[in-house]
Each structure stands twice: as structure tokens, then as C-alpha cells.
Chain A
């Protein structure tokens, strides 16, 4: 054997063989029919030393190009405080599993309780679950939850201003789950209340909107919740978590379910994951909510303790009648978000949001000054906006990439969407504008 992850010595093997009553490792598979036994060699490279593994990934890494990020579309290049990765690398967090044994999992259970508390605060909702995979799947789960919570209603209305990637995942779940999705057409980049009213009917279980929407616009959702509730439909709002430190919250807009991605809470972009999905809702809906939930209780020594609760909703008890097939949470990434919110705190989240807002508005103004860009929507935006470019968008993006800049997301033939976070300096913004003005 003699491999670093296998502790078995020859003497160990012999003693264990004897106890089990076998002569070789091969005997352990005596019952496996020979026709399906794998006898060959895997066509894989040979063992690599740690030095070689490092070299392999360094080489692969060198094939990537680090760009100064001016793109968003749901994933943002936010600042990560140094303490977070160091705390998260603690083995007791990293190498544990779901806190089934509360007596030796209070670390995990405490931080999940903190996470739930912070997400409820951020979204202005009553309660939160213990987290979900990401924003898109959390949104799909919210759509299924709305249908399950309603009675015989099987349709969900979705605003056209939602992120198309979220919509794609929602559509996948809806197709297989037998939910009808109907789009609410957008007007000038925002969802229109009178259009929604004309589409609401008794068979609508939920209405899904995004804030800020896909184009970065902060929409006016006044009256939406009432319209939904008049038709017994749930109002679901998807938001970028960090933006809610400043913006009107889903709770203030009267949402029944708030969902979205928590990547903006200091989690690295890491090419798409892992991130963390959040789901919050009103107290009334707690027993309809999918996913794990941690609650407070007492132990038999009369100490305050935390524990997984309301498990009667979940798959390992309810099996096919469960509210969802989700059987864990995105714990470590929830911890990431929790430590982020603890460090940044009440003021820091607001300050980062204000910096992002200021940077984006400065960039927008400077681009307009070049005379080559114009704003596509005359709407308030947060840290992301869409402009029309009078030149060749592909050529511009290529030029920016060559200069080490990820210059926005292309939307249609002549439009670009830029995003700015607190990480971008004035120098970087000015450099982008200079290249874009050429």
C-alpha cells in the first residue's frame, strides 16, 4: 500500500484478513458477478506527488487571464475581508457534516442561527432557512413553494426583467414539476403594474420579480403585493443580497418570499460557484418553506442550545410528500456570508453599497461624456446599468480584454451592461473610459 492517505501496513492487512476470513482484498468482492467485475487498469495518469499536483494546477491557472471586472449580471467582484477564508479553513467547520448530533455541532448550529437572523434582517422578512445551493435554484424552489402553498393554483407569473439565467433554471423546474410559467412583459425596462393586474387570475399561485432587476434598475413595486394578495397569489422577490443593506427591502415591498444569491456577501466569483442561495419568508409560511431550519431550544442541563428543527417538512421523513428534495444546505458558504456580515456590520455593508453605487454612476456619467454611449433606460439604477454603444461592441470588448479589463456583458447587438463594486478604483474606471473612448 504505502500511500499517504492509506494507513494500512502489511501486518494490519494480514490481521484484518484473518478476522474477516479472507485471503486477499479481491475476496471482499466474491459476490460480484465476474461479467461486471472491473479487472482492467483505469486509463488515468499515474500517482502525482504534491509538488506535481501544485505544478499541474499552476500550469492550468496560467492559462486563465485575470481581468479587472466591470461585469455583473448576478455575480459581482466584491471585497473579501482577509479574516473570512482563514476562519473558514478551520477544520472543525470545514470537515464536519450536517449537524445531526447537536451535542457536538453547536458551532455549526450557532452560525446557521446567526445566518438566518442576519438574512431576515437584510431582507426585512420574518424568517430565513439555513441556506440553499444558489440564487437560481432558490428561486425555482420559491416558485414550487408558492404552488404548493396555494390551493389548486398552478400558474406563476414571472417578470421579463428577471435575469435570463434565473429564468432558465425556473423554467426547467417548472417544466418537470408541471407548473405553468407566464411572462409579464416589461415596459421601458421595468415591470408594469397594470399589465400584471390584467394577467392576475385565480389560477395564479405566485408572482416573481427581481430587485434590482437584471438591467440593474431599481424598480418601483408599489402596489404589487396588494395586487397579488387580492388574488391569493404569493409575491416573490429575487434580490442581490448585499444591495439590500441600502435599498427598500422585499419585506418593505410586502413580499411573501424573498430569495436570491448571497455571492455579493464577500464570496469570490470562482467561475460560478460555490455561492449560497438564500430564502426568507413570512412567519405564516414557515412550514411550507423548503430546506433546513435551525431553531433555539434547551438541553437537559437547562442551557440554551440550537438544533435542526421542523424536520417534519423534509425529505427523509416525508419522502415523496416532502416540500422539496433538498436535504442539506450550503453551510460553509452561509458561514462565509455570516462572517462577512459580522465584520462589515451595520455600517460596512451600507458603505460598500454606497461605494458601488457611486462608482457605477461615475462610470456611467463618464461613458456618456465620450459621446459614444447613451443610457438605454431612463430609470434609477444601483451599481449596474445598460448603455448603447455607437461603435462595434465586439471590437470594443476585445480591446478591453486585451487591456486586462472584463468590459461588461453584451446584451443584444449594440448594448453593454457594466457593473461596479467597491473594489474598483477611480484609476481603473478612468482607464476603462479612456479605452472605450478610442
Chain B
């Protein structure tokens, strides 16, 4: 990554009369779109030669930081290595050139990719059937909740509209429930950071026949394994609700425990987390949904074809590459890396809940709060040292949450380097807090004015031009 801002927009490189494409000449005769169907003005798109375009995007990429640039301990996002062979197979023309409505006999290989992936996901999760239709984790959540709602409707159990979620849940859980026409009720966390069983018992008793499901990550967003899951599952099932597993935190469970065996009925998997497909700056990911036997007739139509098929191909390449003997090491090694960081830093960062974590854990800011250096400042200072920041201010249970997830791919040297820098920042906070509070200093841009952006939104180049 280049620490000098490149900063241009493609529109600013455009010159009338230039072009960056070549198309065949019209061989079909004088057919032309009639005037009455045409737009009145051309779209003001850029006019650039090919090399200008290539340099522009190459230079833009140099102002970006990805997993291939360095350590990316973004909690809850599982920024693991994205193997190159996966990219190679996903681009194979024998797959990339297929129209989704081609006759079945011409897409047998593609069908088999989906079948093999679904079968592998069933084996790894202990569930019965998967659909690859959901495009992303949040889309998977929504799909899974639809399955649950349809299941209850099919039994004439229309009143079940409430979904229990822990107060530490991802923000998408309540949002997905709302889109699905369900209501959220929150169950408290106890002092250990786990679901408060007493509170859950109270809720189950109170809500009884209105409970549609309980939605959980396990390990939860604090990185803690919900060890009371057998009791939780019994309580919810006895009340007639189903158990939903949010697969956001599935990575540490590979080789350790399966959601199906924990008593979950429905789950989604983020292929871009646990199964190594690239995050692509925010997407495309994929959120396959798995269910226990008997629920597969309730898969809804949430997308027209086979979901993000090329993402599924990458996930299958990953599973086949690792094979059964390596895939079971993914969870333990990710968990080891997280615990090692936690133990190495807990004397200088506030660890609100001690004990074993799984693939990630949460600090509540610096231990020494007297310096005024916040979690935001620590995160920004990390950028100066060439690291991506951890997830900050989530979960909402603590004021200064700093959530660290290293993944199984990071070496001890990389992690030791990160630990060293985290300690150095803690030291800087004491001796030179202003240096930390004004960070970052070495990145292409400094801290941005979020308020200006939101108060007076400029979201297109046309609006930008009108500003000057």
C-alpha cells in the first residue's frame, strides 16, 4: 500500500474524444434505435484511453489495505487468507460462460459443484440440507428466519412472531427479523458474558406460544462459547421455538463442535468468512442456509438462480484443498492465536471477562483510562504501524470495545509483531498521548470529517461539480 494519496476520480482524467474500447463493426445492416425511444442526453460517462483507466485503478488500489497487505484482525469478520487457487478455478471459462437458464444436460459440472459443496457443508455442520441461494450473511439470516416463519405457519402456529436474541447480538439479527415481519426480544447477558439462563427462563415463560425462535452465535460476539447451549436448546424447543445459528462465528468450531449437534435447527454460513472466499471490499460474499431434516421444504425463493455461484466454487476449492485432516485444525489454530494475543496483552488492555476465548475476544479499551486515549485512537494509531484496526465499539456491552480476531493463517512472528505494537501504543498513550489521539499520521489521508459528509451529502460527481 502507498501512503501518499492518489486521490483522482476517473471523471477528472476524461477528455472528450478519447476511447478505451474496441468493438466489431456492425455487420447487420442499417438497424438503429428509433429517436422516440432514445434518451435525450448521453450519460456523462468518462472518456479515457485504456492505459489511463488501467493506471487509475492500479493507483487507487495502492490506497487500499487488504489481507494480502498485512495483518487484518477485524473482529467478527474472519479476515483469513484467500487462497489463489480458488480464484483460478472460479474464473474457469467452462463455468464463467454458463447462462443460468441453460439446459440441464449442459451444466452437469456446475450442478455437481453445488451438490458437492452442500454435502460438505452438511457434514461440517451436522445439518441435513443446504440452499446456496442467499447472497450474503445478512441475506442468509433473512432466509433462515423465513424458513422458521414458514414452518410455524405450516403448522397453523401463526402467533409465533418473536425471536429471542442475546443483547450482544450482531445488529443484523434484529434488522433481519424486522424485515421478515418478526419481533425481537432481548435476553440479557450474565456477568460471565453468556446468556443469562434465569432471564431466558423468564422470557420463555412469559412469551411461551409467541416464540418463533432463538437466534444465537456460538461462540457469541464476545468470542465466548455458550456452554449452556444444551440447556438453552431444551428450554426453547420445549416452548415450541426453533434454534437459529448465526454462522458469523463458525470458524472456531471447525474441528470442535457442530451446530447440528448443539441442537440448532437452522443456520447460515458466511462463505467469505469460514470458507476463505475474498471479502472484495464488502462483497460479493455468500450466505448458504442449512436446516435440519424436515425443514428443507420451507426454503424460500430469495434469489433467482444458484446464489453467488462463483463464490461457491471458491469455497468448494478451499474445502477440497484442506481435506478432512486439515479442516479440523482450522478452529483450534484460530482459537490458539486469539488466546495467545489475549494473554499477551491483558496486562495493558482491559479484559472485562477473563478465561478461554474462541477465535476472537474483546478488550474494553486501555487498562489505564487516565490518559484519555480511546479505542478509536488506538485503532487509528495501529494504521500508522501497518495493521488494519480491530473492530471497534462493538459489541455494545462495553464502552470501549476493541474486538480482535487473528484467524488461523497468521504466524507467531506476525502476531508477536502486532502484540509489540499494541504494547507500544499503550506506552505512547502514557508518554505522548497527543501523538496517539491525532493518529493516523502515515496514511494517505488523516481522520475524516464524518459530520460534514452526513450533513451535506455529496454522493455523485455531478453533485461534486455543483459544489465548486
Contacts and interface: CB of A to CB of B under 8 A. Distances in A.
Contacts of A342: 10, 20, 45-46, 48, 53, 56-57
Interface stretch (A41-49, A190-198, A228-236): A41-49
A305 B450 CA distance: 10
A133 B136 contact: yes
A102 B448 CA distance: 7
Nearest to B8: A110
Of A13, A60, A103, most B-chain CB atoms within 10 Å: A103
Contacts of B28: 355, 358-359, 361-362, 426, 429
Contacts of B431: none
Contacts of B279: 95-98
A173 B302 CA distance: 8
A328 B136 contact: yes
Given A92-B61, A94-B66, A325-B172, A300 B38 contact: no
Nearest to B179: A325
B324 A19 contact: no
A93 B9 contact: no
Contacts of B176: 325
A32 B281 contact: no
A182 interface: no
B58 to A, nearest CB: 7
A11 to B, nearest CB: 9
B238 interface: no
B314 to A, nearest CB: 11
Contacts of A43: 123, 324
Contact of B448 (A305, A339, A382): A305
B379 interface: yes
Interface string A170-204: 01110011100000000000000000000000000
B389 interface: yes
B349 to A, nearest CB: 15
A282 interface: no
B44 A47 contact: no
Contacts of A422: 23-24
A335 B327 CA distance: 32
B79 interface: yes
A329 interface: yes
A353 B38 CA distance: 11
Contact of A36 (B174, B230, B444): B230
Nearest to A41: B324
Contacts of A303: 5, 7, 445-446
A101 interface: yes
Given A16-B336, A269-B97, A245 B43 contact: yes
Contacts of B18: 345
Interface string A35-70: 111100111111110100110111111111111010
Interface stretch (B199-207, B256-264, B366-374, B420-428): B256-264
Interface string B82-107: 11010111011111111111110111
A320 interface: yes
B66 A271 contact: no
Given A114-B11, A121-B43, A329 B324 contact: no
B46 A108 contact: no
Contact of A345 (B48, B141, B328): B48
Contact of B68 (A92, A118, A352): A92
Nearest to A401: B103
A111 B53 CA distance: 12
Interface in B435-468: 438, 440, 443-450, 452-454, 457-464, 467
A19 B340 contact: yes
A134 B310 CA distance: 14
Which among A57, A339, A380 has the greatest number of chain B C-beta atoms within 10 A? A57
Contacts of A92: 1, 61-62, 64-66, 68-69
B432 interface: no
A270 B301 contact: no
A403 interface: no
A435 interface: no
A107 B63 contact: yes
B63 A110 contact: yes
Interface in A268-305: 268-274, 286, 292-301, 303-305
A317 interface: yes
A264 interface: no
Of B32, B45, B97, B177, the most chain A CB neighbours within 10 A belong to: B45
A149 to B, nearest CB: 15
A222 B409 CA distance: 58
A40 B409 CA distance: 24
B43 A38 contact: no
A95 B181 contact: no
A96 B100 contact: no
A103 B4 CA distance: 11
A344 B181 contact: no
A238 interface: no
Contacts of B467: 296
A306 B150 CA distance: 42
Given A50-B85, A127-B459, A270-B309, A300 B103 contact: no
A130 B447 CA distance: 22
B93 A66 contact: yes
Contact of A270 (B96, B285, B358): B96
A360 to B, nearest CB: 8
A87 B322 CA distance: 28
B23 A61 contact: no
Given A47-B326, A274-B135, A339-B57, A348 B23 contact: yes
Contacts of A252: 39-40
B459 A295 contact: yes
Contacts of B311: 273-274
Contacts of B178: 320-322, 325
A42 B29 contact: no
B268 interface: no
A89 B450 CA distance: 30
A328 B50 contact: no
B138 interface: yes
A325 B302 contact: no
Contact of B285 (A94, A292, A311, A328): A328
Contact of A48 (B26, B284, B323): B323
A246 B33 contact: yes
A309 interface: yes
A56 B141 CA distance: 32
B89 A57 contact: yes
A137 B302 contact: yes
A324 B171 CA distance: 11
B101 A409 contact: yes
Given A106-B444, A349-B43, A93 B302 contact: no
A385 interface: no
B303 A133 contact: yes
19 contacts: A29-B225, A38-B255, A54-B85, A64-B98, A92-B69, A97-B74, A166-B304, A172-B146, A248-B38, A270-B310, A272-B305, A273-B310, A293-B459, A309-B453, A319-B175, A346-B42, A346-B44, A352-B23, A355-B24
Q: Which 6 interchain pairs have the tightest Cβ spacing?
A: A272-B305, A61-B94, A47-B323, A107-B64, A332-B280, A95-B66
